[in-house]
Structure 1
Amino acid sequence: MIAAQFIMSGMWLQDSGSISSGNSTLLMVFVGLVALALIVQAIALVTIAMGAAKARKRVLVIAEELRAKAIPVLDSTGDFMKSTAPKMIVLAENLVETSNLIRHTATGLNATLNDVNSKARVQAARADEIVTTILMGTAEVVDSVQAGIRVPVREFNGLVSGFKAGLDVLVGRSKSFGNGRNVRSYRDSNDIDL
Structure 2
Amino acid sequence: MIAAQFILSGMWLQDADSISSGNSKLLMIFVGMVAAALVVQAIALVVMAVGAAKARKRVLAIAEEVRAKAMPALESTQDFIANTAPKMITLAENLVETSNVVRSKAVEFDATLSDVNNKARVQAARADDIVTTILTGTAEVVNAVQHGISVPVREFNGLMNGLKAGLDVLVGRTRGFGSSRTRPSYRDSNDIDL
Residues 131-165 of structure 1: CA deviation (Å, up to 9, x unaligned): 22222222222212111111111111111111122
> Relative to structure 1, is the Cα distance of residues 45 and 189 closer, same or farther in structure 2, using a 3 angstrom cutoff?
farther
Give the deviation of 1:48 after TM superposition. 7.2
Partner of 2:33: none
Give the deviation of 1:108 after TM superposition. 0.8
Amino acid aligned to 1:88:
M
Give the deviation of 1:101 after TM superposition. 0.3
> Relative to structure 1, is the Cα distance of residues 156 and 45 closer, same or farther in structure 2, using a 3 angstrom cutoff?
same
Q: Comparing 119-128 with 103-112, which one deviates more in the overlay?
A: 119-128
Residues 62-81 of structure 1: CA deviation (Å, up to 9, x unaligned): 11232344345434433443
Give the deviation of 1:107 after TM superposition. 1.2
Give the deviation of 1:96 after TM superposition. 0.6
Q: Any runs of at least 4 consecutive aligned residues in structure 1 with deviations exceeding 6 A, and if so which?
A: 42-49
Partner of 2:168: 168
Residues 93-113 of structure 1: CA deviation (Å, up to 9, x unaligned): 110110010011111111111
Identity %, equivalent residues: 65
How many residues end up aligned between the 2 structures? 157
Q: Comparing 98-107 with 47-56, which one deviates more in the overlay?
A: 47-56
**TM-score normalised by L of structure 2:** 0.64
Cα distance in 2 between the residues matched to 1:56 and 1:187: 146
Amino acid aligned to 1:114:
S
> Relative to structure 1, is the Cα distance of residues 71 and 125 closer, same or farther in structure 2, using a 3 angstrom cutoff?
same
Give the deviation of 1:173 after TM superposition. 3.0
Partner of 1:184: 185
Amino acid aligned to 1:180:
R
Amino acid aligned to 2:161:
S
Partner of 2:141: 141
Partner of 2:99: 99
Residues 36-70 of structure 1: CA deviation (Å, up to 9, x unaligned): xxx8xx99997776455423311111112323443
Partner of 1:56: 56
> Relative to structure 1, is the Cα distance of residues 130 and 188 closer, same or farther in structure 2, using a 3 angstrom cutoff?
farther
Cα distance in 1 between the residues matched to 2:173 and 2:45: 164
Q: Comparing 181-190 with 138-147, which one deviates more in the overlay?
A: 181-190
Amino acid aligned to 1:182:
R
- Give structure 1 stretches of 5+ with no counterpart: 2-38
Partner of 2:112: 112
Structure 2 SS opposite 1:179 = coil
Cα distance in 1 between the residues matched to 2:188 and 2:72: 128
